[in-house]
């Protein structure tokens, strides 16, 4: 005797999903990603290096609260914004997976102050024709100069209009994490353990997660989603220090200045000229470090120069700091009666050694890339991420690509297909146990 029963449609769907694992659909991911990204970049979240408060700008609160509300609507009912503008939320595990260790994902809310992030007007090109793209102010996105752009012919891209940056750094990462979370909520057949989501303020200022509630994070490994082209993963970064150099002049009426005046403004300029041009950001790549004067101001009596120091090697960083003191002595010798005071402080450290001590995070990322059909390639970050600081705190945190290019500039753009690929990697990482 054969017994046949017609299952209700919902039960039938669950039964089918239990038998088969369907590949993630690119169009579904794109629908989850693109509207979010276009919405997020319209928030003015430019941070301020000169403000020590966290967050350094009020605009970051607006996006933080919007993300909290959106996470709550997706179903993450514990989503919150802390007193210092950190967004923290948790995706509960699938039934039966409660004992699995949680995994964390981070992206930062703020955009860099190098180029304005106000009134961003994203340009969504659904089928890029492969030609030169004219932007405002006489700027162009030129595929002849950017092979990565040329490779997007026939695909969707999003770029700035040339009046501002785009904000893919790091709103692409935020959108990719959010889309991955909603995908998992709407696809309960995709089993996973617990997930932690953190969105941080002021990453671009190099502050290093001040007032971050590390005790609330349960994940033993995390990932920042804050990288560039498809397939790039990063597990090492610069050691980063900042130098605030003060110049004290000796002032007298300029008409009677001979042999007496020590011009603080000119002292600062002379110091900046001593920084070796062959060791500047524009003259180095790969593993070569640099000095970078970020801001200079002053008058006859007082002047200030802010310098960023970057190097992958800690001993070389010590040499750079020592060189600043030598330059200070040189300037004082050139300006009798003047005084140079060098104050240095660390911003973040190279995360390589600590990730090497706990290789599981990086190995899982490589496996997730493989599962997603993406060829991974390791490269050093010529900068840093909040993952650098979190790694120093004891949680190894490699960095994942986002699909963005030309960060911190009016020429910033992002590949939609690569955003979808990053989203797939995030989902695979959550599935791997």
Active site residues: 110, 203
Two structure tokens written together for 136? 């405002």
* Peptide bond just before 9 cis, omega within 30 deg: no
Please write down the HEC assignment for all residues of 162-193: CCCCCCHHHHHHHHHHHHHHHHHHHCCCCCCC
Two structure tokens written together for 106? 């981070």
């Amino acid at each position: 005797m054969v017994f046949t029963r017609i299952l209700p449609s919902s039960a039938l769907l669950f039964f089918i999903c239990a038998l088969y694992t369907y590949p993630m659909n690119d169009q579904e991911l794109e629908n989850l990603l693109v509207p979010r990204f276009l919405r997020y970049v319209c928030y003015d979240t430019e941070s301020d290096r000169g403000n020590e408060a966290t967050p350094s700008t009020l605009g970051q609160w607006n996006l933080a609260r919007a993300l909290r509300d959106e996470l709550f609507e997706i179903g993450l009912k514990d989503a919150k914004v802390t007193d210092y503008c950190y967004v923290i939320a948790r995706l509960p595990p699938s039934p039966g997976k409660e004992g699995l260790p949680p995994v964390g994902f981070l992206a930062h809310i703020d955009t860099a102050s190098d180029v304005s992030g106000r009134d961003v007007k994203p340009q969504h090109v659904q089928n890029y024709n492969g030609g030169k793209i004219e932007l405002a102010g006489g700027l162009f996105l030129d595929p002849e100069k950017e092979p990565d752009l040329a490779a997007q012919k026939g695909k969707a891209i999003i770029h700035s209009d040339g009046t501002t940056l785009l904000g893919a750094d790091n709103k692409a990462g935020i959108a990719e994490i959010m889309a991955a979370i909603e995908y998992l909520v709407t696809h309960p057949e995709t089993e996973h353990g617990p997930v932690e989501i953190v969105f941080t303020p002021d990453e671009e200022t190099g502050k290093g997660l001040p007032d971050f509630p590390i005790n609330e994070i349960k994940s033993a490994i995390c990932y920042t989603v804050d990288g560039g082209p498809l397939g790039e993963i990063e597990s090492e970064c610069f050691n980063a220090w900042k130098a605030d150099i003060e110049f004290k002049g000796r002032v007298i009426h300029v008409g009677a200045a001979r042999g007496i005046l020590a011009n603080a403004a000119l002292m600062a300029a002379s110091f900046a000229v001593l920084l070796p041009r062959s060791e500047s950001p524009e003259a180095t790549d790969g593993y070569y470090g640099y000095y970078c004067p970020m801001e200079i101001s002053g008058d006859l009596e007082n002047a200030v120069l802010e310098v960023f120091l970057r190097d992958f090697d800690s001993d070389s960083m010590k040499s750079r700091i020592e060189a600043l003191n030598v330059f200070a002595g040189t300037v004082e010798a050139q300006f009798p009666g003047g005084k140079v005071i060098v104050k240095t402080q660390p911003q973040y450290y190279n995360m390589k050694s600590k990730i090497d001590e706990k290789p599981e995070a990086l190995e899982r990322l490589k496996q997730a890339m493989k599962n997603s059909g993406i060829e991974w390639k390791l490269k050093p970050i010529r900068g840093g991420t909040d993952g650098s600081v979190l790694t120093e705190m004891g949680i190894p945190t490699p960095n994942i690509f986002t699909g963005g290019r030309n960060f911190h500039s009016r020429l910033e753009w992002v590949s939609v297909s690569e955003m979808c690929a990053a989203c797939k990697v995030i989902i695979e990482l959550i599935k791997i146990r």
